[in-house]
Amino acid sequence: MISTEMMALNARADAGRTWPDIHFYDRAARALTRLLDIDARVRFSPVDERRYLQANHWLDQRCLAFFNQFPKGLGIECGAGLSKRFHRLSEQHEWPQFSWIDIDTEERLLLKSSAMPVIDNYQLLVNNQANDPLVNEIRWDKTTPLMIVADGFSYPLDKAWLSNLLQSLLNARSADTPIYVHILLEATSHWYERLLRAIGLPVFGHWHTTLTALGGEVDDINYFGKSTHSKQGVILGVALHF
């Protein structure tokens, strides 16, 4: 297991006690640390842990806003790792109606599924790097509002793969079906602009003004400060829709 995943899991599991002012609680993460016997001493620096949790709180709020607007929508977390976002979001709905898919390597998914069972509206899919077959495996009727989530601070973010997956989903959707993309990035100062271009978002002038040939619009770009463990990196949240 990659140590960054362990640090991220421990941060989420202990957030309510260590950082109560952030209002981030993850009971499923606490359960997973016990089930997998994760060493609680494996942690981010305090500065990075706080920024990581602030960024994930922002990402959760974007997800909740999506499901408030589209209660029966579908969420897909790319490179999900040991994320328990589905369970965390479900606890904040009295009767959750949305569906969720975690996409990652077979090794990571087997580790997670061995500890916590999959349920009817929660699916695990192996990333085999072939996007068209993957799109066919996703339980999506092409008319249901769709949200793509990626936490690039906790887990490696493959820009080319994400770009191709997004393009495949845009090609498959029915007309006017909304697709939202919410991403956390650990990036050098201009890396986010290269990412936006990589997923079809050419940047014109100031980086807040972003357009796409596919009709996408930026909803929010949030800056969470520098990451100390990468020295030069910044943590960013990017939200856009098509």
pLDDT digits (tens, 9 = 90+) for 201-220: 544 333 333 334 445 787 88
pLDDT tens by residue, 6-28: 999 999 999 999 999 999 999 99
Q: Are 86 and 111 in contact (CB under 8 A)?
A: no
Q: Average pLDDT in the 179-201 region?
A: 69
* The predicted structure's pLDDT at residue 26: 94
Residue range 149-181, pLDDT digits in tens: 999 877 777 777 887 888 889 999 998 899 999
Q: Where are the domains of the chain?
A: 46-241
| pLDDT the model gives residue 136 | 86
Buried/exposed code over 10-33 (b: 16+ C-beta within 10 A; e: otherwise): bbbbbbeebbeeeebbbebbbebb
Q: Which fold has domain 46-241?
A: Rossmann fold (3.40.50)
Average pLDDT, the chain: 83
Q: Which of 96-100, 167-171, 227-231 has the lowest mean pLDDT?
A: 227-231
Stated as kind and residue range, the H or E segment containing 175 is none
